[in-house]
Structure 1
Amino acid sequence: MAVYDVMDNAETIQFEGNKVGILISHGFTGTTQSMKPLAEAYAKEGYTVICPRLAGHGTSPEDMENSTEQDWIQSIEEGYHWLKDRCEIIFAVGLSMGGTLALYISETFEDIKGVIPMNAAIEIPEMERLPSETEDRYIDAIGSDIKKEGVEELAYQKTPVQAITALSRLMENVKRRLNGVHCPIMLFVSDEDHVVPPSNAELIFDKVFSEHKEIVHLENSYHVATLDYDQDLIIERSLEFFQMYAQAKNS
């Protein structure tokens, strides 16, 4: 079995803090680098934070080609259990497929106190058609959809077609179980996104069973909003979300 080196700045991010834990997930073909500003901002407020490097990510496209949605789920569940050993309250946050995984965690574990999907993917018709339309092993990269000039996402330079099939299975699984999300939810959606159709946010909003739910529109960012112009807004609003619902559950 091949062993792959992990890219610089793609390693799992961990900060030990108080009894409120934040589970963060990066996106499809991306790395923890895209979520580092959020992880550091949350840790600065005293939260315990983990952003796992998802299996097959942050190494090579050949490594990702051999990983499946079950491997990605295992990566994020390991992060959840790491927090569970240390924290009394856990929130889930994710970008793109990371948002899909954050929803999965919220569907699976009833003790999740709130979830923040950012440009989360549950339906990408154009991408889902690709495996049946191409005989190629790889297609062009989908990373670095960022409006802000001079900012690059650390992501693969090509996308394994086999992994797209796994992503499609994950999205279908999560979409089917959205009524299992009952915790508060704040959805961030970029009005202009060249990877995930913004309509995904409305689909999620309509199907979750959360009593408290909200959509926040990002008017000045593309898909990788965590590295884009609206980064400060995302950090500010998510910190408010944690404070509100951590206090509510403690009262």
Structure 2
Amino acid sequence: MSERYPVLEGAEPFYFEGNSIGILVSHGFTGSTQSMRPLGEAYAKAGYTVCGPRLKGHGTHYEEMEGTTYEDWTASVEEGYQWLKDRCSTIFVTGLSMGGTLTLYLAQKHPEIKAIIPINAAVDIPTMAGAQQIQARFLDAIGSDIKNPAVTELAYDKTPVQSIKEINKLMALVRQNLHEIKCPALVFVSTEDHVVPPDNSRLIMDEISSEHKKMIVLENSYHVATLDHDQPIIIDQTLKFIEHVLNQTAV
């Protein structure tokens, strides 16, 4: 499906060439790369090579998203992963919300991934399972769940019901294979999240087979924590985690 709508300003994919350590950063469902750009820029400033793909059907118009499948979204991150593989010897993956789901997906498909950093990742959202029965074509927006009143997420103002069916398929696929993940994991979870129940992150922690796994609780952010008050904590702790994993490997 060719995209009919122009990419919104601020929703473009981003790439930063750096050293041989690559970091893939994925945005979430109905959102855009704007939610992950501050992290991408911080990781690039630290010297890493960064890829922030735009998921197909995102960052344009919600009618565009309606025509895409979860396979389109996995293909978008696979393409970004390949871009990094062509340039880097070691790759880390992080993502917000469905971007966190896609982070888990990539770790299942590519065991060579060095470590993952899911942020308020989605594997089980009961309200979305129920929404599938609704006859309407579009539902209200779910974007911009941010505690900081001065910040707005660049996200769609409607949610396609067809897309909810697709994310449900993706979550079910990832959830049943969580045990396959063995790489180190740093899991961020907001205590108050109005989109993805925080127990998703606890489920991920329980189910993945990683020996080295740690959860960091974000006390001052809602769902889009990457744009919220705790953004500096996410950046700082991620950089420390990456350094720790790389040093462990070097020993």
TM-score by length of 2: 0.98
Output the CA distance in 1 between the equivalents of 2:208 and 2:96: 18
Corresponding residue for 2:70?
69
Percent of pairs identical after alignment? 56
**What TM-score do the two structures reach when normalised by structure 1?**
0.98
2:103 equivalent to 1:102: yes
Residues 20 and 246 of structure 1 are in contact (CA less than 8 Å); yes or no, is this contact kept in structure 2? no
CA drift of 1:2 comes to 5.5
Shift of 1:170: 0.1
Structure-1 residue corresponding to 2:132: 131
Cα distance in structure 2, aligned partners of 1:172 and 1:250: 36
Unaligned runs of 5+ in 2: none
Alignment of 1:250 with 2:247, yes or no, is no
> What amino acid is the match of 1:156?
Y
User: What letter is aligned with 2:157?
Assistant: Q
> For 1:2 and 1:116, how far apart are their aligned partners in 2?
30
| Residue of structure 1 equivalent to 2:82 | 81
Give the 3 Å change call, closer, same or farther, for CA 246–131 of structure 1 in structure 2. same
Residue in 2 that maps onto 1:204: 204
Structure 1: any 5+ residue segments left out of the alignment? none
The match for 1:195 is 195
Q: Which runs of 4+ in 1 moved over 3 A?
A: none
Query: Are 1:8 and 2:16 matched, yes or no?
Result: no
Contact 2:187–2:215, Cα closer than 8 Å, also in 1: yes
Q: Is the 8 A contact 2:39 2:235 kept in 1?
A: yes
Tell me how far apart the structure 2 counterparts of residues 3 and 190 of structure 1 sit (CA, whole Å): 36
Deviation, 1:247, is 2.5
Secondary structure of the corresponding residue to residue 112 of structure 1:
coil
| Aligned length, in residue pairs | 250
**CA RMSD, 1 decimal:** 0.8
What is the aligned partner in structure 2 of residue 186 from structure 1? 186
Aligned to 2:57: 56
Distance 2:63 2:247 in 1: 45
- Cα distance in 1 for residues equivalent to 2:138 and 2:78: 28
Q: Distance in 2 between matches of 1:4 and 1:246?
A: 41
How many Å apart are 1:149 and its aligned residue? 1.2
Q: Who is 2:225 aligned against?
A: 225
Deviations 1:200-233 (A, max 9, x none): 0110000000000111000000000000000000
Q: Specify the SS of the correspondent of 2:4.
A: coil
Other-structure match for 2:31: 30
Q: In 2, Cα distance between the equivalents of 1:195 and 1:176?
A: 21
Q: Residue 3 of structure 2 contacts residue 57 of structure 2 at CA under 8 Å; is this kept in 1?
A: no
Task: Give the C-alpha shift of residue 250 in structure 1.
Answer: 3.4
Q: 1:78 and 1:107 mapped to 2: Cα distance?
A: 16
